[in-house]
Structure 1
């Protein structure tokens, strides 16, 4: 494991924002290293430790001799959005993206994503609602209701995007670094802010279908984070 804010340029950097993920992160990093090591792209993994109180940082140290470089950087500003921005802003990779530490989106999804980026697509995101997608999910009635309201509000900014919240998004590196420079949302609505700013810059966002499975252990709380996220969505929709 190497700790670095300045990293050698590669074709792809994959960012994992992580807050207290010592339980779920090891298998995710292992699967990602296995996949990337068999691909022709020069790749690196960046774990952004979002001020974790557990052994998240120690988990990364297990991969010191992995065939794909695994870096760890810190982010003292709380929130998934802050952690993702930290990873992107310190990257010099040709393509850069982020995925959730729970590996709910199969890492194999990266293959069609990278093919589209190589063809010139500016942003390619996994979608649980695109034609051909499938997902298994168990959610409370409160969370299902909150999700419906969230999607309605997100469509004010992104009417053509079916799924803004699947945690598997990849971008042209120089373009996304320019976009995140002006982003401010630290919470769970940060995906919408990034995609909305991307669209406002005139860049197309491409969705690819994904076979997605909910994994227990999410840090999202419908009660704690729901109202804040919806307030953020309203602010994003009026920011022109």
Structure 2
């Protein structure tokens, strides 16, 4: 049976922690691991995984999808684990847990748990088209340390923009990040991919675990003179987001203020 058509999970279904650890340890080497941080994404994951797996299966590089369940209180983990075990996926799917709340913590857990030469993450809402991966991999294979999608670089378009309040907050946040990360128009677009060695060297310096994680990671890459490519994309605002403008916005501003500045 096709795993993407049969994904019902009963709320009472449970798996042992030992089973979950065993699955994560079976991750064999691939060229690219795609990390998807997920908090309460049970309803969205089957469609996201289907679209991502179909795209990756058509590419010349071997791939794996790794979903990081960030302490969800819905059925995100069981849904993905059920999908990963069923026949029908054109690429392997793994799920690992991250008990520490925060997108940065979940992304960090996913990125550092693999061994692939290239790795990166995008959000479960797929606001950035998955096809952007083809251009990202081309740049990485030709020497880029990081390739990030951008909603504000020349040539980018907003298919469906954010609400006014989020846009105004985003402008203020971009003004602040420009004092830290030089030459990057959009630090917060949820699509970033990396070469493993450059990523690891930068990650050991990162401390942020929330939405400021992206800023700090890019800053650490710049401080080690790692080449970063910014790709303009056609971006679509998701129907829902785990970002809480007041709580997360204040925390993100405070975290960025504490970061050192990039070299001139």
TM-score normalised to structure 1 length: 0.95
1:63 aligns with 2:84: yes
Q: How does 1:94-173 map to 2 (within 5 A)?
A: 94-173=117-196
Q: How does 1:191-230 map to 2 (within 5 A)?
A: 191-230=214-253
Cα distance change of structure 1 residues 177 and 74 upon mapping to structure 2, 3 Å threshold:
same
Q: How many Å apart are 1:238 and its aligned residue? A: 5.3
Q: Which residue of 1 aligns with 2:257?
A: 234
Q: Is the 8 A contact 1:89 1:181 kept in 2?
A: no
Which runs of 4 or more aligned residues in structure 1 lie more than 4 Å from their structure 2 counterparts after TM superposition? none
In the alignment, the residues of structure 1 paired with residue 135 and residue 262 of structure 2 have an alpha-carbon distance, to the nearest angstrom, of 32
1:27 aligns with 2:47: yes
Deviating more after overlay: 61-70 vs 153-162: 61-70
Q: How many Å apart are 1:77 and its aligned residue? A: 0.6
Once the two structures are superposed, what CA deviation does each residue of 1:86-118 show, in whole Å capped at 9, x if it has no partner? Answer: 011111000000000001111001001111111
What is the count of residue pairs matched by the alignment?
A: 240
Q: Is the 8 A contact 2:182 2:262 kept in 1?
A: no
TM-score normalised to structure 2 length: 0.87
Q: Is the 8 A contact 1:17 1:49 kept in 2?
A: yes
In the alignment, the residues of structure 2 paired with residue 138 and residue 117 of structure 1 have an alpha-carbon distance, to the nearest angstrom, of 29
SS at match of 1:216: coil
Q: CA RMSD in A?
A: 1.7
Q: How many Å apart are 1:5 and its aligned residue? A: 4.3
Larger radius of gyration: 2
Q: Which residue of 2 aligns with 1:17?
A: 37
Where structure 2 has 5 or more consecutive residues not aligned to the other structure, the ranges are 4-19
